[in-house]
Copies of this chain bind each other. A is one copy, B any other.
Amino acid sequence: MPRSPNAPSPKAGPVTLAMVARRAGVSPQTVSNALNSPELLRSETLERVQRTIDEMGYRPHRAAQTLRTRSSKLIGYGIRPAPGNSAPVMDRFLHALSQAADEAGYRILLFASPPGNASLDGHEELIDLHSVDGFVLSGTDRGDPRQAWLTKRGIPFVGFGRMWSGRQIGDWADVDGASGTDAAVEHLVALGHRRIAFLGWPRGSGVGDDRAEGWQRAMRRHGLPVRGRRAQSVDDTASARAAVAPLLDTGATAVIAASDMLALGCYQALRERKAAPGKDVAVIGFDDSPTAALLSPGLSTVAQPLEAAGRECVRLLLARMSEPGAPPERVLLEPSLVVRDSTPAPGS
A positions within 8 Å CB-CB of B: 14, 59-64, 66-67, 72, 74, 77, 79-82, 84-85, 87-88, 90-92, 94-95, 98-99, 102, 107-112, 114, 122, 125-126, 128-131, 235-238, 241, 261, 268, 271-272, 289-291, 293-296
Task: Give the residues in chain B near A295, CB-CB below 8 Å.
Answer: 237
Task: Give the residues in chain B near A98, CB-CB below 8 Å.
Answer: 79, 110-112
Check B63–A72 contact: CB distance below 8 A: yes
In the complex, what residue of chain B is closest to A74 when comparing beta carbons? B109
Knowing A107-B111, A296-B237 touch, does A61 contact B129 (C-beta < 8 A)?
yes
Check B112–A110 contact: CB distance below 8 A: no
Q: List 6 A-B contacts (CB under 8 A).
A: A63-B131, A87-B88, A87-B91, A99-B112, A102-B111, A237-B296
CB distance from A152 to the nearest CB of B (A): 13
Task: Give the residues in chain B near A80, CB-CB below 8 Å.
Answer: 95
CB distance from A120 to the nearest CB of B (A): 14
Check A91–B95 contact: CB distance below 8 A: no
With A98-B112, A108-B111 already in contact, 6 other A-B pairs whose C-beta atoms are closer than 8 Å? A61-B129, A63-B72, A81-B95, A85-B289, A110-B110, A236-B296
CA distance A271 to B273 in the complex (A): 11
Knowing A72-B63, A85-B290 touch, does A109 contact B108 (C-beta < 8 A)?
yes
CB distance from A40 to the nearest CB of B (A): 23
In the complex, what residue of chain B is closest to A83 when comparing beta carbons? B290
Interface of A is mostly: helix
Contact residue among B66, B109, B236, B290 (Cβ-Cβ distance under 8 Å from A84): B290
In the complex, what residue of chain B is closest to A69 when comparing beta carbons? B63
CA distance A95 to B90 in the complex (A): 12
CB distance from A320 to the nearest CB of B (A): 21
Task: Give the residues in chain B near A237, CB-CB below 8 Å.
Answer: 294-296
Check B59–A261 contact: CB distance below 8 A: no
CA distance A77 to B108 in the complex (A): 10
CA distance A66 to B91 in the complex (A): 30
Check B271–A60 contact: CB distance below 8 A: no
CB distance from A278 to the nearest CB of B (A): 11
Task: Give the residues in chain B near A289, CB-CB below 8 Å.
Answer: 85
Which of A62, A63, A111 has the most CB atoms of chain B within a 10 A radius of its CB? A63
CA distance A66 to B296 in the complex (A): 53
Knowing A85-B294, A237-B295, A294-B237 touch, does A107 contact B91 (C-beta < 8 A)?
no
Check B296–A238 contact: CB distance below 8 A: yes
